[in-house]
Each structure stands twice: as C-alpha cells, then as structure tokens.
Amino acid sequence: MAGLMNRIKSFMRSPKGQQVTNKAREMARDPRNRERAKQAAQRLRRKR
C-alpha cells in the first residue's frame, strides 16, 4: 500500500499531475458539477 501512495504522490508532483489537479479545481468551481456531485452522494447514501 505504501508503494501505491508513493506513486500517487510522485504523479501529483509531476507536470501532468499538476494539470489534473488544476482541471479538478476548475471543475469543482462549476455550480452544475457541484450539484451533480451532491446528487451522486445522496444516491450513494440511500443505497446503504
């Protein structure tokens, strides 16, 4: 498990990882995406 975490950390520090992070932040600012995420979380809570 530690090896996987190290691989994830190194990816996130790479230029491509930074691009992915910036894209995720940009998408998180969009109100439509926030609402979709909220609805998905509600669906997951109901299925339990």
**What pLDDT is recorded for position 39?**
94
* 26 within some domain: yes
- Is there a contact between 17 and 11 (Cβ–Cβ < 8 Å)? yes
Domain that holds residue 24: 19-48
Q: How many CA within 13 A on the CB side of residue 3?
A: 0
* 1 within some domain: no
Domain count, the chain: 1
Q: What's the pLDDT tens digit per position in 19-38? A: 999 999 999 999 999 999 99
* 7 within some domain: no
pTM of the model: 0.59
**What pLDDT is recorded for position 47?**
73
Element (H, E) at 14: none
* 13 within some domain: no
* 4 within some domain: no
- Is there a contact between 24 and 34 (Cβ–Cβ < 8 Å)? no
Measured over the CA atoms of residue 21, residue 23, residue 26 and residue 38, the dihedral's sign is: negative
Question: Within its chain, how far is the Cα of 14 from the centroid?
Answer: 16
